[in-house]
Amino acid sequence: MEFILYEQKGNVGIITLNRPKALNALNSVVLKELGQTFDAVDMETVRAVIITGAGEKSFVAGADIGEMSALTKSMGEEFGKVGNDVFRKIELFPIPVIAAINGFALGGGCELAMSCDIRLCSDNAVFGQPETGLGITPGFGGTQRLARIVGVGKAKELIYTCSNIKADEALRVGLVNAVYPLGELMEAAEKMAGKIARNAPIAVRASKQAINEGLQTDMDSALVIEEKLFGNCFETEDQKEGMKAFLEKRKVDKYLNR
């Protein structure tokens, strides 16, 4: 990989976008490598994934303007599809994904963060969708996910005005879950990932699936989705061990992921 670093620490996978001289901006190569990295995650041993950016200034400063400036209409649509396909892969990835946002998260960077399950940021983080100031719309899901996360009115304000918001405002409007000093961000992300990893992996994955699928339909249909996934858990060794440990007033020996 040219621009993506990957390491596994125990049951946690850590993906780092490594293009610091360009503030980790997204181009076609970065997007391709990001998708390939998720495809290669060991689903048997990894139980949570963290995405972050190299350096202390930027998570992802946006899509690569130099590359985008030469696109035609059809090329622009295709570039948008490439980004959307990768971010949708992350959003639907069976394992929870935590964004550790260390600095700028603008345009495609904000969109990448929004495709993750949980967003933690440093106190120097800045968020925004500056695309209309460049003569384009957000192209990697910004018009859709931002409204779903912070509400339609706030999303329209941020997109129409190209206004950026800092970490404290991002927390207030619900764009991020928590804010940490920069030096403590990865420790906090790894601690949260570790908490996720200690729980029954099949149940965690089923919970993610139930939330994602349920949000796309009406309440009655969503409850049926939950009921089926809930029922499926009772066929797993994890459920048997988890409940046995509870009744015996002890900690779980080991979740087997089956």
pLDDT digits (tens, 9 = 90+) for 70-102: 999 999 999 999 999 999 999 999 999 999 999
Lowest-confidence pick of 64-78, 84-98, 108-122, 123-137: 64-78
Which of 178, 197, 216 is the last residue in one of the domains? 197
In this structure, are residues 146 and 114 in contact, taking their beta carbons and an 8 Å threshold? yes
Q: Please check whether residues 36 and 69 belong to one and the same domain.
A: yes
Clarify whether residues 160 and 211 are in a common domain. Answer: no
Q: Give the pLDDT band of residue 196 (cuts 50, 70, 90).
A: very high
Establish whether 44 is a catalytic residue.
Answer: no
Q: 192 and 221 share a domain?
A: no
Look at residue 254 and tell me if it is in a domain.
Answer: no
Considering the domain architecture, whether residues 216 and 114 belong to the same structural domain is answered as: no
**Would you say 51 and 96 are in contact if contact means Cβ atoms under 8 Å apart?**
no
CATH number of the domain that 216 lies in? Answer: 1.10.12.10
Mean pLDDT of 30-57: 97
Q: Is residue 53 part of a domain?
A: yes
In a domain, 252, yes or no: no
226 is catalytic: no
* Vertex 98 angle, CA 97 and 104, to 5°: 125
Which pTM value belongs to this model?
Answer: 0.96
Question: Do residues 34 and 132 both lie within one domain?
Answer: yes
Within a domain: residue 114?
A: yes
Look up residue 37 and give its amino acid. T
Q: Indicate the Cα dihedral angle 69, 70, 73, 76, nearest 10°.
A: -60
Average pLDDT over residues 187-195: 98
Q: What is the CATH number of the domain that holds 14?
A: 3.90.226.10
pLDDT category at 210 given cuts 50, 70, 90 is very high
Shared domain for 205 and 172, answered yes or no, is: no
Question: Which of 102, 96, 107 has the alpha carbon at shortest distance from 121?
Answer: 102
Query: Are residues 155 and 231 both part of a single domain?
Result: no
CA dihedral 109, 179, 151, 91 (to 10 degrees): 50
Q: Which of 135, 139, 143, 171 is nearest to 159 (CA)?
A: 143
Number of domains composing the chain: 2
Q: What is the mean pLDDT of the chain?
A: 96
Range of the domain at 224: 201-247
In this predicted structure, what is the pLDDT of residue 256?
Answer: 81
pLDDT for the residue 253 = 82
33 close to 20: Cβ distance less than 8 angstroms: no
129, part of any domain = yes
Q: Which residue in the list 33, 44, 131, 190 is annotated as catalytic?
A: 131
Region 218-237: mean pLDDT is 97
Could you tell me if 24 and 116 lie in one domain? yes
Tell whether 256 is covered by a domain. no
Let me know: does 114 contact 91? Beta carbons within 8 Å. Answer: no
d(CA 186, CA 245): 32
